[in-house]
Structures are given as C-alpha cells and as structure tokens.
C-alpha cells in the first residue's frame, strides 16, 4: 500500500463528517485492515448513537403468496402460477398470525410476496388490486396497534404496471388503505448489468429507485438493502450505495440500511463458477480477492464486517445500520455492533419453524437482549421508526429465555428463508 493511498483512506475516515467519496471508499476497502475499519466505523457509530442502548424490534414475516412471475436465480422460494405448491394466504390465516404476534408483544408485520399476476391468471393464482387494499384495511381495522411494513418496491412497481395506475396513485391508495412503511427488499445490487443476470423479470434499478423516491416524496419512510457477495464488483457495490445515498439526499426517507451476503444453497446462482478465495503467497493479510464480475465470489464473515464498516463510513445520511444475525449467526451479529451497526434487527416470529437446509440460527427475544447486554449496551425494543418502546409488556429479564418465541432462519437463497412444517415460507427478510 502506498503512503498516498493510506493517507487518502485515513483522511476520508478521520475527516469528521466530511462525505466519503466513492474513490475513498474503494481505497479504504483495498488498503485498510478490518481492525482499522472497525475502529473507525465504531467511533462514527458512537458519534451518531451516543445513547446507552442498542435496539431490536419484534415483528413477524408474513408472506401472503409465493406466486411470482419473476425468475430471480438466487431465489428458491417462488412458485410459478399453476405450480402445485403455489399458495395465497387467506385473510383469516393472516389474521391468526397477527394475533399470535400480538400475544408475544410484537408491534409490526413485514408482509411481502412474489410478483403475483392479476386476476386473469388462467391458473387461478392471480389477484386484483382490490385484494391488496382489502387486506390492508382488514389488518388496519382488526389490529390497529400493528404497524404494516409491506410490499417491496418490485411488488409496488408490479401493481403500477399490471393494474395500469400511476406510481403516485398506486402508493397513495396503498397508504390510504393502511400501508405505513415500505421494506427495502428486491434491491440486490442496483446495477442493471447484474439485474439482467440474477433478477430476471424484476424491476430495473431506476424502477426500484422510482418507487422509493415517490414513497419518500409522499412522506413515507422506507428501509434500503444490499445483497452482496455474488457476481458484483467492488465498484458496483459502491455504485449501489451511491444511488441510495443520492436518493437519501432528496427526501431523507430511508430509516436504515441492511446488507447481507448471498447464501448460495439450492439456487441456480449458487452453481456459478466460483473464484478462489485463497490469498497468494506473500500477500498482505488484509488484501482481499477482487471479483471480475463474471464469477461467483461469496462473502464470508470477514467480508460482511468489512463492508458493514465501510457502509457506516459511507452513509453519512442514513441513521441506522442493522446487524444481519439471521444470515451471519448470533456471534457475528453481536460483533456487528462494533463494526457500525446500532440495531440488532428483528425477533422474527414464526410458528413451529424448522430448518430444512443450510446453516440455521435460532434466537429468542431474550437471546437478542442477552447479546446486546453482553456487548455492553442496554437492550431496547423499538418501533419501525427506531423510537424506543418505553413500556415493556412483561418481564423481559435477559437471564431467562423460558417461554419466549424462537425462530429458525435458514439463509439458503440470498433472501433468508424461514421454514415451517418442513416447507419454505418466506422469500425476503429485507427489512
Ligand atoms: S426474489 Fe422475489 S421477485 Fe425474485 S423470484 Fe423470488 S419471490 Fe419472485
């Protein structure tokens, strides 16, 4: 590493709140050790979040349908219209799930599905737009305390296209029916070279951004995400993040950024030719292999933490970064609190959840609280706007996990899969 490069990278990281450039971010990635990046990202996090607590939310993933017209090659959740395992949940089924969530002190649902065709689908697996509005009204009226965080940008773009409404009207009608905030799912990498290869039949980059821009313009809050560690180059990761940061400059609508590594098991993308990750003899310890954009290069825990730190330093206008314990496991999830994350994400409740494949992680609310406490902060439940929920509904002493819900999350498709009764039930964990 040249003295000039070290100086530029260090200056970018120590220059108070001066905005990090794309070049500086790449130089930091290439030249700084994980220790140095972590130290500087943590210092920045302490500036942004001097409070004595670190947060988490209790919510439930509800995937109203797995029917999808897209063909993302990192997904093993979807069903084609007409497939025998295609499903659409009834309002009663969704209502029962919310009742169970409320019973354990949950405050919100993350509700997403595939890109479902309209009601003319010849297999009977289509839905009219009125179904979505009726669903939102049903939840709002039956469960007024529950925050509805739902419909990722690809779903909303599909509503706009399939039902022939303007984007402005589509979002307005969803809001009027009860939609509160929008999850950042379906972003993957916002570079069309990549989307053309892995997100076939799904939103282009500008379309994903257009949904978020319109939602922010209407005053809604959303999250944003990145799925890394597949065929993207470092420059493309930065391009993705620059697009998010630029959009955030317009309305400030993103509450949080969440990134996670692609999980290759049982996916077509997982069978792509891989780049070796071995370091050449004599290479500096922090030197990382670079993807040429044509091969699969998975991201391990080291890469996840390095990129978390760079994200904290790069996003000077997005307040919250989440730990991705679901994909990284509890210990790396806890370590993330020292690499830029200020939030442990979600205790995602699902019933009788059993993993089928891949690495599995189980965490109860008390276990999340214990991880936060052991890292030196007070555990604090929050709402979707990252506001503390001040009155616990019951004793949540971190020493006892008895009676608390547990989930099993199997990161098997780049989108975290949750499984119940031996079958996959969740496409997106994107918050
Ligand atoms: S990731 Fe989402 S949009 Fe893509 S195929 Fe799976 S369900 Fe459909």
319-370 residue pLDDT tens: 999 999 988 999 999 999 999 999 999 887 653 222 333 445 768 899 999 9
Q: Which of 224-238, 249-263, 267-281, 353-367 is predicted least confidently?
A: 353-367
Residue nearest to atom 4 of ligand 1 (CA): 72
pLDDT of residue 416: 34
Phi, psi of 154 (to 5 degrees): -60, -35
pTM over 0.85: yes
Å from CA of 427 to ligand 1 middle: 7
Tell me which of 66, 67, 68, 425 to substitute to probe ligand 1's pocket, judged by most ligand atoms within 8 Å of the beta carbon. 68
pLDDT of residue 56: 96
- For residue 207, what are the CA distances in angstroms to 170, 185, 204, 214, 345? 14, 13, 5, 11, 27
Tell me which of 63, 69, 77, 211 to substitute to probe ligand 1's pocket, judged by most ligand atoms within 8 Å of the beta carbon. 77
What is the residue-wise DSSP string for 43-66? Answer: HHHHHH--SSEEEEEEEEEEE-B-
Among the atoms of ligand 1, which is closest to the Cα of residue 74? 1
pLDDT of residue 289: 80
Residue 60 to residue 347: CA distance in whole angstroms: 8
Tell me which of 65, 73, 75, 417 to substitute to probe ligand 1's pocket, judged by most ligand atoms within 8 Å of the beta carbon. 75
| Residues 272-292 pLDDT 10s | 999 876 666 776 766 778 899
Among the atoms of ligand 1, which is closest to the Cα of residue 77? 6
Residues with CB under 6 A from ligand 1: 68, 70, 72, 75, 77-78, 114-115, 154, 202, 415, 427
Q: How do 181-182 and 221-228 pair as beta strands?
A: parallel
Per the CB < 8 A criterion, the answer to whether 183 and 147 are in contact is: no
Share of the chain above pLDDT 90, in %: 76
Å from CA of 425 to ligand 1 middle: 13
pLDDT of residue 404: 33
Å from CA of 186 to ligand 1 middle: 8
Q: Give the mean pLDDT of the chain.
A: 86
Å from CA of 67 to ligand 1 middle: 9
pLDDT of residue 347: 85
Phi, psi of 260 (to 5 degrees): -155, 155
In the chain the domains, ranked by start, together with CATH numbers, are 62-342 (3.20.20.70)
């Amino acid at each position: 590493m040249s003295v000039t490069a070290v100086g530029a990278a260090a200056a970018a990281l120590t220059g108070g709140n001066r905005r990090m450039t794309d070049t500086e971010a790449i130089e930091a990635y290439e030249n700084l050790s994980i220790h140095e990046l972590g130290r500087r990202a943590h210092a920045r996090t302490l500036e942004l979040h001097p409070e004595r607590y670190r947060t988490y939310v209790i919510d439930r993933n509800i995937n109203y349908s797995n029917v999808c017209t897209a063909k993302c090659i990192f997904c093993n959740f979807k069903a084609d219209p007409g497939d025998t395992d295609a499903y659409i949940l009834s309002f009663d089924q969704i209502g029962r799930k919310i009742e169970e969530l409320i019973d354990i002190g949950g405050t919100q649902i993350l509700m997403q599905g595939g890109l479902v065709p309209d009601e003319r689908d010849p297999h009977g697996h289509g839905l009219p737009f009125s179904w979505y509005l009726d669903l939102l009204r049903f939840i709002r009226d039956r469960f007024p305390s529950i925050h509805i965080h739902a419909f990722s940008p690809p779903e909303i773009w599909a509503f706009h296209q399939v039902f022939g409404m303007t984007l402005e009207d589509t979002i307005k009608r969803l809001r009027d029916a009860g939609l509160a905030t929008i999850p950042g799912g379906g972003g993957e990498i916002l570079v069309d070279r990549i989307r053309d290869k892995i997100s076939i039949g799904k939103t282009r980059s500008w379309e994903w951004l257009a949904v978020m821009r319109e939602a922010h313009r209407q005053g809604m809050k959303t999250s944003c995400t990145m799925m890394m560690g597949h065929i993207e180059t470092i420059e493309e990761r930065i391009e993705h993040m620059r697009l998010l940061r630029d959009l955030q400059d317009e309305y400030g609508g993103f509450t949080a950024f969440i990134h996670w590594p692609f999980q290759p098991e049982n996916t077509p993308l997982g069978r792509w030719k891989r780049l070796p990750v071995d370091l050449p003899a004599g290479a500096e310890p922090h030197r990382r292999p670079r993807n040429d954009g044509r091969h699969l290069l998975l991201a391990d825990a080291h890469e996840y933490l390095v990129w978390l730190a760079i994200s904290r330093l790069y996003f000077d206008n997005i307040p919250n970064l989440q730990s991705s314990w679901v994909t990284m496991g509890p210990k790396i999830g806890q370590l993330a609190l020292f690499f830029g994350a200020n939030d442990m994400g979600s205790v995602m409740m699902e019933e009788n959840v059993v993993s089928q494949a891949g690495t599995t992680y189980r965490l109860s609310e008390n276990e999340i609280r214990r991880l936060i406490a052991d890292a030196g902060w007070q555990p604090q439940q929050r709402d979707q706007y990252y506001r503390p929920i001040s009155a616990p509904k019951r004793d949540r002493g971190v020493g006892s996990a008895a009676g608390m819900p547990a989930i099993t999350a199997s990161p098997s498709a780049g989108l975290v899969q949750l499984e119940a009764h031996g079958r996959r039930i969740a496409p997106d964990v994107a918050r």
